[in-house]
Structure 1
């Protein structure tokens, strides 16, 4: 069984260029994985 873990970053709120958006989406994806997989997370600008 395959389950998705998806990280979402939205232009322009989470970054003005592709590199920043991908970095933030990657952070959100790892948060989704920690939350139990088969999940999605929208990037949050609040430092953790």
Structure 2
């Protein structure tokens, strides 16, 4: 049902890259999670890349 209401949607994304220093998948996920929360803290609607 379309009520004509507008909704605002935001997206925050955290990215981590697999490289020589990240050999365990759980570390990669943890890095992406940290980057996600950094994006949320910095105002949402952002993409942050783990360092």
Question: How many residues matched?
Answer: 44
Write out aligned runs for 1:4-43 (5 A): 4-12=11-19, 15-43=22-50
Q: Which runs of 5+ in 1 are unaligned?
A: none
By percentage of residues, which structure has more strand? 1
The two structures have a TM-score, normalised by structure 1, of 0.79
Which is greater in Rg?
A: 2
Q: Which runs of 5+ in 2 are unaligned?
A: 1-7
Question: Structure 1: which 4+ aligned runs deviate by more than 3 Å?
Answer: none
